[in-house]
Structure 1
């Protein structure tokens, strides 16, 4: 069915090599706006380190790992400024820090609804993580070394990691499917959350293997940033955000509404 018949934008089918092109394009865009992107990434890292320190000192070791993993669920909402950066670069403009830290078009009800939906998915993620941990052991690991030793050296810990990875992966891919296109699409104020979310799901269904690969690449780059003490996220997060804008523009062909919104 056509766009006129469904009221939904058309979706492109892409090849398995497309995610590599998005990532390369994201890196090129990063080099064109290094200063604002680094500041954006540094602010995100500062907030992440503050939350991590608070959880660690509160003794919430299990929650610490869940929060680090769940970061990937909510990251698309945190990248609105980077989508704006990609859009401005696409229009030949030079982004400034103020332009990407305060995106007026991102302050709208539809994005709050999408954010709330991700919060609900994240809440399920947290509860499932607690359930898997509780069913895996009768012990309570109070310190980070104890918990890491349990995961790496204890057979029960191995089972917990395997089960948690499978369940968490399913939940994460569901969240990814909901938001991978919808978040950048909502920069266009003529789109609403329902159309954007359905478009995102259709995009993933049409391009399952390329989008699965793109999701794996995002996870790998995010994990790389986290294992460096979050410092690596100063670079990897902006690059992922800029690449995600390119993915959206490649997957959802420009309509007159998109062009008009971009020009306004």
Structure 2
């Protein structure tokens, strides 16, 4: 049998060693034998219940299970929603490992590898930076790229800033909460990009930069695809890695339904 600690050690092995306050065993015991693993971008109540129903006793989640980048907030200690979820976890003896910082520190970033693979853009990659991937793709319009990305990722929508008919070749891709101006604007400047595709970020930073660039007759565009949409492919990719590491353990990837409804 393989215990929880062995799985954790294998997961963090490819990353540069450092002290992470997020990537910890949030609940459970490192000495417990693993009977089944569920991997998810977000440990929602539904994912939790599905994991229990199939007999998995380890969940690897990218984001924190209690509605914060912190794994637990004392301010939520009396909240009934948090406590109901916590009770289910404890009663089912579920072991939860948060796998965020270490996966982002793979070389290249594991989340980005999954996203680029899902988009089938591996052959267009020019450079993998710590927080972004730079690509040169065959010329396509902003709208063509937006519709392609939406379809490949199964996204209910994407948000676009820019001329939908503008042709693009040089693209920067950033997953998760990396769509802020401090990352996006230098990419436009230094990499001579036509388009940036990002997960999410403040609407008054990169989107407004692109708006002003367009007004100045610069050919720039931005596509925001959403935090979960941009990082879920990375966790799906993680399933293949964990299954290869531990072929004797059942490993499942659960993708949640889209969070937002568009009216």
Shorter-chain-normalised TM-score: which range?
under 0.3
Which one has the bigger strand percentage? 2
Which one has the bigger helix percentage? 1
Tell me the TM-score normalized by structure 1.
0.26
State the structure with bigger RCO (CA 8 A, min sep 6), 1 or 2: 1
